[in-house]
A and B are shown apart, each in its own frame.
Chain A
C-alpha cells in the first residue's frame, strides 16, 4: 500500500511533538506521555450463557503525571541517579480497541464482535527505579487502577452502545535510551455491557517519554 508523502510528514511532526512535549511538560517521576498497543483477551458472559472468549487489540495514548512527590529532585538520592521513593501516580488515557467475535458454543450462541473508543482516569503507584535482573537495564514497576467510559459499536452493524468500566494497569518500564522507556503493559478491564460483563486482560508494549 502506498502512503502519501503528506501522511509521512504528518507522522514525523507528531512524533517530534510527542518527544518534545513529553520531555518538557511531564518532567516528574511518574510522568510521561506514552503511546502503546497490544493484544486484548475478553472473557465475556451473559447471565444465561456460557462465558465466551474474545480476542482483539487495543491502541492508546496516555498522559502520566506524578501526584507525589512532584519534584523529581526529591525522589533521587543525592549521590546517585536512582530514584528511591515510591511515587503516587496518575494517568489519563484515550483508548481505541476492537474485540473479535467469540467462537460458537455447542448450542450456536456466540458473542458479537465490537469495537470502540474510551477515556480512562487511573491512580496508582510507581516503584523506585531499579536495575532489572538479567537485563541490566534501569526499570520501574507501576500499578494503577481507575475507571473509564466506553462508546462501542457492534462490528458490521449500525448498533452503538455505551458502558462504564473499571480499569487497571500494570507496567514495567525499561529505560532504553534517555528519555525513552519501552514498557511491557498488562491492562485489565471489567466492563458492564448489555446486561453482561466482559473481563478483559491484555498484554502490550508502550513507548514512553520520561
Chain B
C-alpha cells in the first residue's frame, strides 16, 4: 500500500513539475513574438571601383565595390529601406562629397529610424590609425584619406543627433581599425591566424585571464547606444575581392546572410546574425582555401544592443 502511495506521489509530483514547465513554455511563447518593424530605415551606400589617380599616384582600381554597394542597396530597397546607392559611386565618392552627402542625407531622420552607412573600396593604415580611401586620394594629399576618428566624428555630428540606431559596415582592408573598443573585449586577433582559429574555449580562457579588467570596463558603461560597426577584416589584415564570387568576399557573404543567416528563424537577420554568418563563411570557404597569408576575419563592436539588418518578412 505504501509502495502504491509512493508511486501515486511520484506521478503527482511529475505532473506538478510538467505543469510548471508548460506554464514556462507558454510564457516564453507569449513574450517572444517579434514586432513588425514600422520605423524608417535609411541607407547610404558607397562603392569605389574607379580611383581618379589610379596607380599613377594613388590606389589601383578595384573590380567589385560598385557592384557590392548597388547589390546591397537593391536588396535593402526590396526590404523597405530608403537607399542611396548611386550618389557616392566611383569617382563621385570624393572625401568632400562623402562628407557633404552624409550631412545632407540623414538630416531630420526620425529618432526611431535606423541609419546605415556602407563602404566598399580601398582601406589603408598607418602605425595606429585605419583609413578608408576616397576616390580623389593622391599620395601627395594624404589628408584626403578618411580616418576612423574622422568618420566617427561625421557620424556623431550628422547622424547621432537625429537617431541612435546607426550601423556602419566597411568592406575594406584594415577596416578593423574602425571597430572601437567598448565594454566587451574582442578576442579575435586583428591579424587572424587560421591555424590557431577561434573557439569558445579560447574565449573562456582569454576572458578568465583578463576577468578583473572586463569587470571594471563593464561597470564604467553608462548604457549609451553606440553605433554598431562591422568590418570585413582586422586592423592588420587585407580583405579581398574575388572574380569567382564577383563581389568583395565579405560583402558576398553578407548578402548571402540575407538568405541563410537567420539563425533563430524569427524572420529577421540582425547585424550580429549577418556578421556571424559572414565571418564563419569566410573562415570556412576562404581562409581554409587560401591559407594564412590571405586570411582575414571580420569584426564587430560589442554591447547588449543589436539592430535588424535584413527583414525577411
Q: Is the CB of B305 within 8 A of A49?
A: yes
Q: A residues within 8 A CB of B203?
A: 153, 158, 160
Task: Tell yes or no: A124 within 8 A of B by CB.
Answer: no
Q: Note all chain B residues with C-beta closer than 8 A to A39.
A: 21, 24-25, 28
Residues of chain B within 8 A (CB-CB) of A82 are: none
Q: Is A151 an interface residue (CB 8 A)?
A: yes
Stretch at the interface among B61-69, B132-140, B263-271: B263-271
Q: How far is the CB of B297 from chain A (nearest CB, A)?
A: 8
Rounded to whole Å, the gap between the CB of B190 and the closest CB of chain A is: 11
Mark interface residues in A140-160 (1 if CB within 8 Å of B CB, else 0): 000000000101011111111
Q: Report the bound CA distance from A174 to B6 in whole Å.
A: 11
- Within 8 Å by CB of B308, from A44, A104, A155, A184, lies A104
Q: How far is the CA of A53 from the CA of B23 in the complex (A)?
A: 16
- The reply to whether B112 and A44 contact each other, CB–CB distance below 8 Å, is no
Kindly list chain A residues whose C-beta atoms are within 8 Å of the C-beta of B184: 154, 159-161, 194
| B28 surroundings in chain A (CB, below 8 A) | 39, 41, 55
Interface residues of chain A, those whose CB is within 8 Å of chain B, are: 39, 41, 44, 46-49, 53, 55, 100-113, 115, 117, 132, 134-137, 149, 151, 153-164, 174, 176, 182, 184, 192-196, 203, 205
Which B residues contact A (CB, under 8 angstroms)? 5-6, 8-10, 12-13, 16-17, 20-21, 23-25, 27-28, 31-39, 41, 112-114, 164-165, 182-188, 198, 200, 203-204, 206-208, 211, 214-215, 217-219, 221-225, 263-264, 266, 268, 270, 272-273, 275-276, 279-280, 299-300, 302-308
- Provide 29 A-B residue pairs closer than 8 Å at the C-beta atoms, listed in order of the A residue: A55-B28, A101-B272, A104-B35, A104-B37, A104-B308, A107-B39, A108-B39, A109-B307, A110-B307, A113-B272, A132-B13, A135-B12, A136-B5, A137-B9, A137-B10, A137-B13, A149-B211, A149-B215, A151-B211, A154-B302, A156-B263, A157-B300, A161-B184, A161-B185, A162-B214, A192-B219, A194-B223, A195-B223, A196-B223
In order of increasing CB-CB distance, the 4 nearest A-B pairs are: A195-B223, A156-B276, A195-B221, A159-B302
Q: A106-B37, A203-B23 are in contact. List 9 more A-B contacts (CB 8 A).
A: A49-B305, A101-B266, A107-B39, A113-B264, A149-B211, A157-B300, A160-B214, A193-B218, A195-B224
